[in-house]
Amino acid sequence: MKLIVKVFPEITIKSRPVRKHFIRQLSKNIRAVLKDLDPELEVTGVWDNLDVQTRQTEPKLLREMIERLTCVPGITHFLEVHEYPLGDFDDVLEKCKLHFADQLPGKIFAVRCKRAGKHEFTSMELERHVGSRLRQECNAAGIDLKKPEVEVRMEVRDQRLYVIHHQHNGIGGYPLGSLEQTLVLMSGGFDSTVAAYQMMRRGLMTHFCFFNLGGRAHELGVMEVAHFLWEKYGRSQRVLFISVPFEEVVGEILSKVDNSQMGVVLKRMMLRASTHMARKLNLDALVTGEAISQVSSQTLPNLSVIDSATDMLVLRPLIASHKQDIIDTATKIGTAEFAKHMPEYCGVISVNPTTRAKPGRIEHEEEQFDMAILERALERARLVPIDRVIDELGQDVAVEEVREALPGQIVVDIRHPDAQEDDPLELAGIEVLALPFYAVNNRFKELDANRQYLLYCDKGVMSRLHAHHLLSEGHANVRVYRPA
């Protein structure tokens, strides 16, 4: 399979050195994203287009390659092509007939040609010749350049002909690693996941920072969605997942800070902690998912007071976004289902939260706060490479595993719906229930408590983690299914 990758249009208007830098970075990223599928993948080209060539032929593997490339920042779209030496007009016609003859009978069509290099003909002349002959020889209904039912597309580059048979859209943006690095404050909800995606799409390497307010299930949920975002959109770069234990910080705020000011003080403590982590890792900015006045702490006066807790740049890509637009984007990028089922834990809920925080009042409240507690939280923070976060999380989790399911037991397939669709789990005589991992915590309580459930996933890590959590919640009818 040969692909022609078209880069994000904003890249093409950069200066020559910057443009080359972006293209080189995109080439590296494509190799990194696809190397486990094809170690011998060829990526060539240094200017407008990149050519990607694989000798792999297994259909499932090729579909996975295409799916991954649609999520690589920096790619506007890419074309599946067949490449040939450029012959005369009749030879070009034969190549087009080879791929489109069976699609044209009774259809309205158009021929599109793009050309680069020096030739004795124009693109329009080639289109006319091929179009008129295809109409005559393939029983087409006619030609319509505005609204064709079938498009016969080709590119001529110097002495090569590319017949295009599929176009796949990418997400655009700049290549990851071509710009600076950021630290996104992750709660796992709609806002923070969309904010992280937008930074990644813009080419900014995005590390993840989670403040654990006391909920183990919430921490697991945020780890899962952060890993999903990285695996789908950022796997060309290695980044960190940082978990900061904030239970003591919350307790100190509850006991020392006036009720109306607690939300603003908590956000300031998070900014102080994330600034410390960003400085330690030499990162350039912090990112949050805040939008103007979505909640009480996000009014302009409150955001101004919150930002004064740090001298680091704080980016808010959703600042003027409507909630429904954010939810729609989360649905599009695949994080909406995570957000809907994200376990919530909020230890700071003000009865009458201030919407116009005053710097002097906040400073007075924070004078009562023991900053040694914040320092202890930072000392206990865990930094884990995002590609290992799920595996390391499950290393010390001991849950009973079974090799064989018995009649009457229900095997719960907790894999992502895409994996369930691509490779359905079928067990003779055994009931299989598809329940994605992000929905397990919320929906397990709805299941029949008198039945025995065996959680299943590919590697056995996610199933162990969720089984362990369900057992700790008092569900004794859970084990892990690990077939030999």
Catalytic positions, please? 457
Question: Side-chain half-sphere of 470: how many Cα atoms within 13 Å?
Answer: 29
Identity of the residue numbered 417 = P
Q: Angle of helix 262-280 relative to helix 247-256, nearest 10 degrees?
A: 140
185 is in an annotated binding site: yes
435 is in an annotated binding site: no
Decide: residue 85, CB within 10 A, 0-12 exposed, 13-18 middle, 19+ buried: exposed
409 is in an annotated binding site: no
Q: In what order do the strands lie in the sheet with 453-456?
A: 401-402, 478-481, 453-456, 410-413, 431-434
Report H helices in 46-138. 59-69, 89-100, 123-137
Continuous segment of H or E residues that includes residue 382: strand 382-385
Q: In what order do the strands lie in the sheet with 2-7?
A: 42-44, 49-53, 2-7, 75-85, 160-172, 150-157, 108-116, 142-143
Which residue, among 172, 164, 197, 203, has the nearest Cα to 81 in the 3D structure? 164
Contact 93, 167 (CB under 8 A): no
Quickly count: other Cβ atoms within 10 Å of residue 404's Cβ.
12
Structure tokens at 61: 């593997």
213 is in an annotated binding site: no
Continuous segment of H or E residues that includes residue 184: strand 181-185
Contact 433, 410 (CB under 8 A): yes
| CA atoms of 465 and 393, how far apart (whole Å) | 8
| CA atoms of 397 and 262, how far apart (whole Å) | 35
289 is in an annotated binding site: yes
Contact 355, 296 (CB under 8 A): yes
- Annotated binding-site residues for ATP read 185-186, 267, 289, 298
- Annotated binding-site residues read 185-186, 267, 289, 298
